[in-house]
A and B are shown apart, each in its own frame.
Chain A
Amino acid sequence: MKSLSVDIAPISTATTRRPRNASLGKAWALVLKDVRVEMRRREAVANSFVFALIALVIFNIALDLERQRLEALGPGLLWVAFVFAGVLGLGRTFVGEKDRGSLGGILVAPVDRGAVYAARVVSSLLFLLVMEMAILPLFALLFNIPLLHPLILPVVLLGTLGFCAVGTLFSALVASARTREALLPVLLLPVVLPVVVGSVEATALVLQEKPVGELLPWLGLLAAFDAIFLAVGVLLFEFVLEGSDA
């Protein structure tokens, strides 16, 4: 009962504070709620960070990486680590809500389903970006490659956004399935393949210190994928949430 009141409180304050765009205000309140929950539990970020770090160590040992091959393999390894850690981070976003019953609370509130989806995409994006921003310098340091270039930021941002757009929708899909933790990667990884391809290529270009002009087409492609996946997610999310408050 206590946790329920904590969950609902920011929604009401946000709606009174921003009457102009109610939907945006509610979505923002939901993001704040997710951030607050994550600050207390530290599940998504901590788990995915440690997982990504372990993956990098395993890659290095298993592949016995030297400097030459790292230039070619680095971007791929980085994104494999990000994507697998991301699946781990996303996997529990709706499971926790469902088990605690707080999803029902959100759905009873007069919030547009699209706003619930958008909020969850944003909060997942935030958590994964925190993890990735912590992994990036470690990757550059451990593997001794010059990855800390400002242009890596839009690549990571756009790649992770596309991943979260599909991942949020799918983690809601599997939340009530029997084999939920095992099912998410099976569904999600093939579908986000285009995003991974684009992100790896763009990261490789950044690593080779190519001019911005060569990077732009890939960034545009990633942005287009993100737009498509977000549009599909907004349209279909209401069908996933339907009936789950019962």
Chain B
Amino acid sequence: MREYLGVSPRLGTPMATHEFPRLRHGLGTPRTFAWAALLAMPVAMYFALAFAPREATMGNVQRIFYIHVPAAWVAFLAFFVTFVASGVYLYRRQERWDILAVSSAEIGVLFTSLALVLGSLWAKPVWGAWWTWDPRLITTLFLWMVYVGYLMLRSAIEDPTQQARFAAVFGIVAFVDVPIVYFSIRWWRTIHPVVFTGGGLNLDTRMLVALLVGLAAMTFLYLALLSLRSAIEAVQRRNAVLLQELEEREEA
């Protein structure tokens, strides 16, 4: 089978594996982003664990904040990218936008899970409970459920273009729904007040710096994962096409 690929005049010579990330469908520079993330993460850890002062009432556990907030930010950014890519896909019908949408949604689910877990770890010592039904928490959980649904919808539809189209429609509805969910829960909460309040953290300048460094590092990590994930997606799709052509050729 491999030799067949090699001599096939229509398919051309097979590409070496390392060339695949530079395919047109890929985001281009996974390596650059990966290096940036690799360098930025230890710096962010230093700022979170050493540079930022110890919080007066919560103590060291508050340092989770410097990863938790960036994780939540990246989750939101990722779903926003999915939303934009879905819209552009429906408008332009270029496959790379669908690749971008699915890759970003997957990473978004990962970071939403991270934000939820880290948030719970922080909430337990500070609030005395793993979870409270606060608007922000409910909205985050909502994000998780909706985008897991997005991935389930994708895997349930076989036809690739239909899958891309339907996922784009769902990706748009889901993101439009995010502010609606947030405000409906907030309005609902004015009637059923929360016992614990999430706010009240007065950020000192050094804390703010540590947070900003964390946000930058996590964004680099997101870009690195996104470019890698979309390169992999592009390769997988190309492989599927090649395999199909091969089967057709063998049948002929």
- List A residues at the B interface (Cβ < 8 Å): 166, 169-170, 173-174, 176-180, 183, 186-187, 190-191, 193-194, 197-198, 201, 221, 225, 228, 232, 236, 239-240, 242-243
Q: Is the CB of B169 within 8 A of A236?
A: yes
Measured between C-beta atoms, what is the minimum distance from B172 to chain A in Å?
Answer: 6
- B173 cross-chain contacts in A, Cβ below 8 A: 166, 169-170, 191, 232, 236
Beyond the given pairs A174-B156, A178-B157, A190-B142, 15 more chain A to chain B contacts, judged by CB atoms under 8 angstroms and listed by A's residue number, are A169-B169, A169-B173, A170-B173, A176-B159, A177-B156, A179-B156, A180-B156, A190-B149, A201-B188, A221-B184, A228-B180, A232-B173, A236-B173, A240-B169, A243-B161
Chain B stretch 160-190: residues in CB contact (< 8 A) with chain A: 161-162, 165-166, 168-170, 172-174, 176-177, 180-181, 183-185, 187-188
Q: Is the CB of A239 within 8 A of B165?
A: yes
Size of interface on B: residues with Cβ below 8 Å to A: 31
* Interchain CA distance A240-B172 in the complex, whole Å: 13
3 closest Cβ pairs, A-B complex: A194-B184, A177-B156, A190-B145
Report 19 cross-chain contacts, Cβ distance below 8 Å, ordered by A residue. Answer: A173-B169, A176-B157, A176-B159, A176-B162, A177-B156, A183-B152, A187-B152, A187-B153, A190-B149, A191-B173, A194-B183, A197-B184, A197-B187, A201-B188, A201-B191, A221-B184, A232-B173, A236-B173, A240-B165
Q: Is the CB of A239 within 8 A of B168?
A: yes
B146 interface hit (Cβ, 8 Å): yes
B158 interface hit (Cβ, 8 Å): yes
* Interchain CA distance A221-B146 in the complex, whole Å: 22
Measured between C-beta atoms, what is the minimum distance from A200 to chain B in Å?
Answer: 9
* Interchain CA distance A86-B188 in the complex, whole Å: 23
- List B residues at the A interface (Cβ < 8 Å): 90, 142, 145-146, 149, 152-153, 156-159, 161-162, 165-166, 168-170, 172-174, 176-177, 180-181, 183-185, 187-188, 191
Q: Contact partner of B184 among A169, A186, A198, A243, CB < 8 A? A: A198
Measured between C-beta atoms, what is the minimum distance from B169 to chain A in Å?
Answer: 5
Q: Is the CB of B153 within 8 A of A232?
A: no
Query: Most chain-B CB neighbours within 10 Å: which of A180, A194, A228, A242?
Result: A194
- B184 cross-chain contacts in A, Cβ below 8 A: 193-194, 197-198, 221, 225
- A225 cross-chain contacts in B, Cβ below 8 A: 180, 184
- B152 cross-chain contacts in A, Cβ below 8 A: 179, 183, 186-187
Q: Contact partner of A178 among B156, B161, B177, B185, CB < 8 A? A: B156
* Interchain CA distance A174-B167 in the complex, whole Å: 11
